[in-house]
Structure formats: C-alpha cells, structure tokens
Structure 1
C-alpha cells in the first residue's frame, strides 16, 4: 500500500488538516509547526490535537511529518541565530507530544563560510541540547541540494551529524527526491546504486520518510527548485520505480510540489495508479 500525503496548512487546526487529507485521498500529511518564514507558533489546542489523533487512528494514517520553519539555522555564524534555532526546535518537540509518535523534519542548515566541519559540529550540538529520552517524536535530517553553503547534500555529512548525536536512536533521515537528484545522486538512472550508497554510508534503517518532488533543473544542478510530478527532470517513469522500490515502498511519501489541493489530489491519484502488486 502506498502511504502518501502532501503539505497542508495548519492555519485551521490539526483536525481540519486530517479531514482535508482524507478529502484528497491522502493517508498522511506534512505541516509546518509555525510560520515557515517567521518564529511565532499558534497556541496549542490540545482538544484539536486529540481529535486529529483519533481521526488518524480510525483511518489508519501513516506517521505525520511536522516540518521546522525555514528561518532556523543551527549552524549559523551568528550565536543569536543558533540560539533561536535551538529554542524553536525545543519548543516544537514539546508541542509535538500532543500528537505523539510522529516525525519532525528540518533542514540541517548553512554554515555560511565557517566550513562543513564547524557546521556539522554546531548542528549536532543543537540536537544534543534539545533531544530528550522521554520524547516520542523522531527527528529527521533532510537531504539537501547543496545550494550555497548548505550542509547535508552529501550522505557523509548527514552521517557525521548522526555519529555525534548522543540520543541517536531518536534520529533519522528524510530523503527529498528533488534535493538528492540536484545534489548529484542519480535516482533516475541508478536508483539501486544511490540506495546502496545510502545504506553503506548512513544505513537504510535511518531512512524514515521521502519528500517526493520532481526537479526543475536536475542532476547536479544544486538549485533546489521543485516541479510537479512528471513535469521536471526526474520524470514519471522514475517515480514509478521509486514508489515501487522494495526499500522505499514501505515508507511514507510527502508531496512538496508547487500545487494547490486539486493538483495534490491529481498527483496522489497518479502515484497510486502506478503502484504494482508486491
């Protein structure tokens, strides 16, 4: 069974997102924990969160994916910016206990000229400061395209971060198809090879989710520009192989394509129609 959803707005509440997901044929979804370009989070409505928990259980949802805001950078050269990232992520993880046993994804950050080693060190220090043995949420590092001074466009960089996190059992990776292709991993012509490399460097047990997006600029472009499914350089047939791959088909997929709800519904239908019997 293909577990798939898209990115939904949390502005009307958790339960509303669950109902919207069902209305477009999804059985999971992603949402921002707060304003993606700001810092403020809405007050948490515990009753609303519980209604979502019940709806998700009744409809056999796959795990939900919360996404940290784009404004955080845990490896900034500015100490205040790093502090903001740590405090924001720590608050997010507390809030996510209202919807337990789900996922929290973030972009590792940009080292802004400090170098990869410093960036990796600062990211892992942030994670060691915020992770708690009591939390039920798994925190995911996202694979990045390598734009500018981004950390995380090479599997080795993600592995370095994971190796330095004390509570590493609470960590995983979200593979973004656009990002990883733009970073130079050829998932179109050598999907098996890319997954073998991921397993060698990081371990497939760490792979917890997939952002499924086409790419406008394509292999090794380092551009990070998402396209609708089948309308970019990855292409429909490659996505057929991706969703049916024995390693990936067990994972939840989250669309981050440039769409409104009707477009997401059409993409979900398209991808579901590609599923092959195992």
Structure 2
C-alpha cells in the first residue's frame, strides 16, 4: 500500500519528497504554494523537476492540494478569475513535480444562487479552467463533509459533475474517509453498498487518491473533525479493514490528514504498514 501524509514544502518540493522517503512513505501530499492565498506563485522549475525525478526513482506517488480559499462556486466574477488563475498555477506546479493531480474541494451552495445555479457555476469554472490546461495532471474533486444532503456528499454528484464538464478526461476524484463518514455516505457498516454503487457509476474508475482519516464524531453528524486511524476515532479498525482490502483501491495513495500532534505521521505510517502493508 502507498501510505503517506501531507508534508510541508518549507524545504522545497524535492525536500518534501525526500522527507516522504525518509519516513518510508510511499506517497505524500503538499500545498503547491501558500495555502492561504490564491496568488500565483513563481516557482522553481529546477526544484520541481528534481522532485519529479526523485519520486520516479523511488516509486513515490504525490498529489498537491489547492489553497484553502479555492472555491469552485465563487461569490463574484472577480473571485472567479482569481480561482481560475490560481488553479492553472496549481496544475502547472503539480505537473512539474510529476504529481497525479491537484485535490480541490467540491463546490458549496452559493448563498446568492439556487442549488442548480451553484452546480452550473461549478461546471462553468471547471470548463474555463480546463480549456486552458493541456498537461496530464488532473483536478481531483474531493467529496464534501456535512450533514446528509449537503452539496458534494454523494457519488452521484461527483460523477455527474465530471460527466457534464467539457473535459471529463482532465478530472478525477479524491475520496476523504472522514468526509464520507461525516455525511453518512459511508457509515462504517455499508462499505459493500458504497463499493457496488461506485462501481456501477464509474466512480472508482476515476478515483486517484484516498484521504485516509478517522472521525472524532459519529457518522451522519456533519462534523469534519479528523482523528488518527488508530485510537479514539469513531471508525473502527475492522471498518477501515474493509476499505483497505478493496481491490479497486490497491494501487492508490492513502494520504493521512490526521492530527500529527496526537500521533506523529511517521509513527502512524509505520503502524499502517504493520497492519496493512504488503
């Protein structure tokens, strides 16, 4: 299994890759730039190229994560332009580093729009962005946390948004286990149902990465609070075991976004490898 975690690029993209290797991780995630800004970054192409070569040599998979202000349902035309420019910058850096794609949170219901108009805005933004993108790195839509029925919490929505976009081949998916548990998509006891539905919809054909997180709160409460895989989280080891043992997920990177102050990621990766490593 390609277990890994989110890492800082304080020492550059190559530095993050070397940190992953030192942790005996098979994968890692990084912010391509300042996580709190949509400003376009003038990055080091040499550093990114060295990261790409290093990861290929060591068999490490990587993904990037778009900055927090990235919204696929922006509240204004000005914000829309900022998001598109930022996403294109994210994709360029992601491609240069040899990463699979950039994880982007599913859009939210915009308060000034109807639900249908929010979906339409999201599709328009994706189309405008991807019409200018010619690389191999994909936008990876991440399922949302929230109470059942919140926008972005069903496999049907994720698949349909991709299908309705003009460039579906440039879009993949990221499954966050805490988010799925939060909204009740996966309640811990229905993984076979989730798998069956996902296979029928074609969701798992486009799934590129797992955000591997436990939940501090019970399923269906809509609370996005991550917990370590092993410990006091509400998802049990047996429930995770069903997911990890799924053949459709065998080659995907499993990225921890768990609170490292509770269990250091290096230790948690070691525990994951001891439990489920091959």
Secondary structure of the corresponding residue to residue 272 of structure 1: helix
Post-superposition offset of 1:77: 3.0
Inter-partner Cα distance in structure 2 for 1:81 and 1:172: 24
Match of 1:126 in 2: 125
Whole-Å Cα distance in 2 between the matches of residues 115 and 179 of structure 1? 24
How far the C-alpha of 1:262 sits from its partner, in A, is: 6.6
Asked if 1:241 corresponds to 2:242, the answer is: yes
Shift of 1:83: 2.1
In 2, Cα distance between equivalents of 1:25 and 1:240: 21
Query: What root-mean-square deviation, in Å, do the aligned CA atoms of Structure 1 and Structure 2 show?
Result: 2.2
Q: How many residues align?
A: 275
Q: Distance in 1 between matches of 2:200 and 2:187?
A: 16
Distance 1:58 1:25 in 2: 14
Kindly indicate whether the alpha-carbon contact (under 8 Å) linking 1:240 and 1:271 is maintained by their aligned counterparts in 2: no
Q: Which runs of 5+ in 2 are unaligned?
A: none
**Which runs of 5 or more residues in structure 1 are unaligned?**
none
TM-score after normalising by structure 2 = 0.91
The answer to whether the Cα contact below 8 Å between 1:74 and 1:81 also exists between their aligned partners in 2 is: no
8 Å contact 1:3–1:28 — kept in the other structure?
yes
Counterpart secondary structure, 1:247:
helix
How far apart are the structure 2 equivalents of 1:77 and 1:98? 31
Describe the shift of the 1:151–1:246 C-alpha distance in structure 2 as closer, same or farther (beyond 3 A): same
Task: Work out whether residues 86 and 129 of structure 1, in 8 Å CA contact, stay in contact via their aligned partners in 2.
Answer: yes
**How has the CA–CA distance of structure 1 residues 151 and 6 changed in structure 2, closer, same or farther, with 3 Å as cutoff?**
same
Structure 1 residues 125-144: aligned runs within 5 Å: 125-131=124-130, 132=132, 134-144=134-144
1:101 offset after TM fit, Å? 5.3
Give the deviation of 1:82 after TM superposition.
Answer: 2.1
Shift of 1:97: 2.8
- CA distance in 2 between partners of 1:240 and 1:273 (Å): 13
